[in-house]
Amino acid sequence: MASSSTSSSVKLMLLMPVLVSSFMVATVGNLNQDFDITWGDGRANILNNGELLTLKLDKASGSGFQSKNEYLFGKIDMQLKLVPGNSAGTVTAYYLSSKGSTWDEIDFEYSVDGTPIREFKNSESIGVPFPKNQPMRIYSSLWNADDWATRGGLVKTDWTQAPFTASYRNFKADACTWSSGASSCSSTTTSPSTNSSSWLSQELDSASQEKLKWVQKNYMIYNYCSDTKRFPQGLPPECSA
């Protein structure tokens, strides 16, 4: 993924048509308490008393981490600094995923604060699955994908620039966590009881809709809803919703 050296902030809001109470878990602070290093043989590190997490990639291996908690729905914030300079061939992945043979996955895309990138509405009424039942962990990794990510593999990773580094800080989760088969949120109230959980009823206003259209017009290079070659039997139902 080619990127600049500036920091990006990514946010996720899983907006569900459910009733929740005030048992939302809001965490911010020590990354040691929120994440486990899962692979990389020393290439991933949590530094500065839990304030900074770094992933490194060299020719031998990349690295990765995952959240200690699983989340059912919530608002998640984290500041990421992507690989600076010539990062062609490298991929910094940041996503949520459940486990099992039929898993849910939500991939993040990067922009600046306050600018919507994608809106995925609940269209279960027309048969489109919606990720509301399976708890998901946060996963992130830095790895080499120069066999496909750069013009189909035409541009290779410049290993003279290695090690490549991505960094993370200021993680905050205002979310319903999942533990022992149950959510930390119950279904006893009809509206959020705190300002911090106002995202539960948040929708894109007209200004945000215009920002979304601007991003799509100027930066979107692929839209599966217009890929008739991929879907010769007809586009997915959400494309016409």
Q: Which residues are catalytic?
A: 105, 109
Q: Answer for the pair 37, 65: CB distance below 8 angstroms, yes or no.
A: yes
Pairing state of beta strands 182-183 and 25-28? unpaired
**What phi and psi values does residue 92 have, to the nearest 5 degrees?**
-100, 105
Residue found under tokens 């100027």: 218
Half-sphere exposure (Cβ direction) of 152: Cα atoms closer than 13 Å:
0
Q: Nearest 10 degrees: CA dihedral of 226, 231, 233, 237?
A: -60
How many angstroms separate the CA atoms of 123 and 241, rounded? 8
Dihedral sign computed on CA atoms, order 96, 99, 105, 109 = positive
Task: Tell me the residue ranges of DSSP E strands in the chain.
Answer: 7-13, 25-28, 35-39, 44-47, 52-57, 63-67, 70-81, 90-97, 105-107, 137-144, 164-179, 182-183
Beta-sheet pairing, 164-179 with 182-183: antiparallel
